Amino acid sequence: MAQPLPVKVLEVCRVAPPPDLPNLASPSSLPLTFFDILWLRFPPVERLFFYEFSSSNTPFFDSIIPKLRHFLSLTLQHYLPLAGNLVWPQDSHKPFIKYVDGDGVSLTIAESNMDFYHLSGNGFREATECRPLIPHLEESHERVAVVALQITLFPNSGFCIGITSHHAVLDGKTSTSFVKSWAYICNKNGRSGSADPPPSWPSLPPDLTPFYDRAAIKDPAELEVIYLKGWLKQGGPNNRSLTLMKAQVQPSLVRATFELSGEQIQKLRNFVSADQNRSKHQVQRISTFSLVLGYTFVCLQRAIEAKEKNAILGFSVDSRSRLKPTIPSTYFGNCISGCIVVPETEKVLREKYGVCYVAEAISESIKGLENGVLNGAETWVSIINQAMDQGESKQRMMSVAGSPRFEVYSTDFGFGRPRKVEIASIDKTEAVNLSESRNGNGGVEIGLVLNVQQMRSFASLFAKVLEEEVH
């Protein structure tokens, strides 16, 4: 007898912004900048928000779904480009986002018989288990959807909101701002449980109101031209296809989440500071990001038994406040710079002081952005392609997805804080997912996807190194 499907699709619909948009509506057409074009065919980012029911008789189909759907429509008046598509007409020298009447965001309503608490836990889970919870972007050579959503019910347990977003339109900050805006409007206007329209168009607070002025992004080095030429050559000549790169999830991989508490991070900070004094390095305050990433990197390199002469670590940095002149923190689109750290593997694997070495190297790399966040930007396309093309014979580069600064656990639609937030797409990119701790203890969650043997080794090292080497 055939096994029942883990997820049953109940409905697929299209949620459009209100037909009578006010004058304050966001733009219906938006050009890409070089920051966006950099990610033109990169696989989409997939994020999952798990919410637990407060009681077993929560009216999911009669209340929650209508509420989420209705307020999604109202949110789209502020995020109109998300209801459109990315297109590249023959008469345009570059792609752009276009919304026309009748467009909308694809929303899938589904039901699952899988174990909600297993999927939303921290323990080992097969990486492929969460795949049915993730919506797919509609795509062709001529156009690609910007965002797709899926809401999956786990009867008597909770539900999951899955969002798939096009990386050439949204960076992590913009993507989470959209979901938070949806949650804000839903929470503020739907407290009565009714999905009736609010008396007036719901507004957003300043910290969630998107800023769309593309003139704020300057391109004196003509990076846009460099990136466009690179994409046109890939599969070219003159390949204008918008089809996204495909990446498969290996069935042998497992997913797990680890956490460093605020107290443990302070222990790391004290340890690194003492090493700076001991080695007479210039004493500087090492950020939480550098400490957590440095510790994770050391444990990972040991777990995978790295043998190359140099290890490779890459991560993105929000450039909104680093550009000259600066741009608003609510800027809509990509605005991230890249940092690459190439420490000596022998020093990384060194007991006790490997963590200090890597944390200080990360800190120095970030400090180097003060000299210009776009230094070396002409090489970013090749670096990204290298990260995506990590075959068996190629060295693994550890990259980073997410950020504790996004504060994803504050995303409350009126049903309470999420039980778990995951970046599911790290199972394709081999990135490490960082977010703030749900416990609110100043800690950081670290999400990983590895094979079973490596994950067991990492889990052992993650606990052991902190206990035995960091004093």
Name the class of domain 253-468. alpha beta
pLDDT bucket at 386, cuts 50 / 70 / 90 = low
CATH 3.30.559.10 region(s) of the chain?
A: 7-233, 253-468
* Residue 412 among the catalytic residues: yes
Give the integer Cα–Cα distance in Å for 447 and 392.
22
Is a pLDDT exceeding 60 seen at residue 437? Answer: yes
pLDDT for 199: 43
pLDDT higher at 297 or 2: 297
SS3 call for 184: helix
Token pair 């309503």 in the structure block, residue: 109
Query: What are 270's two structure tokens?
Result: 């004290």
Range from 42-51, 75-84, 344-353 carrying the lowest mean pLDDT: 344-353
pLDDT for 193: 46
Pick the catalytic residue from 36, 167, 171, 318. Answer: 167
Domain spanning 7-233: CATH superfamily: Chloramphenicol acetyltransferase-like domain (3.30.559.10)
* Residue 196 among the catalytic residues: no
pLDDT bucket at 275, cuts 50 / 70 / 90 = confident
Are 51 and 121 contacting, i.e. CB atoms less than 8 angstroms apart?
no
Is a pLDDT exceeding 90 seen at residue 319? Answer: yes
281 φ/ψ angles, rounded to the nearest 5 degrees: -75, 165
pLDDT for 236: 80
Distances from the Cα of 114 to the Cαs of 133, 149, 158, 159, 378, in angstroms?
10, 19, 11, 11, 46
Is a pLDDT exceeding 70 seen at residue 278? Answer: yes
Q: What is the pLDDT of residues 456-468, one digit of tens each?
A: 999 999 999 999 9
Is a pLDDT exceeding 90 seen at residue 257? Answer: yes
Q: Distance of alpha carbon 17 from its chain centroid, rounded?
A: 24
Is a pLDDT exceeding 50 seen at residue 205? Answer: yes
How much of the chain exceeds pLDDT 70, in percent? Answer: 92
160 φ/ψ angles, rounded to the nearest 5 degrees: -130, 135
Distances from the Cα of 183 to the Cαs of 71, 128, 212, 409, in angstroms?
8, 28, 21, 12
Is a pLDDT exceeding 60 seen at residue 392? Answer: no
Nearest to 27 by CA among 224, 216, 215, 213: 213
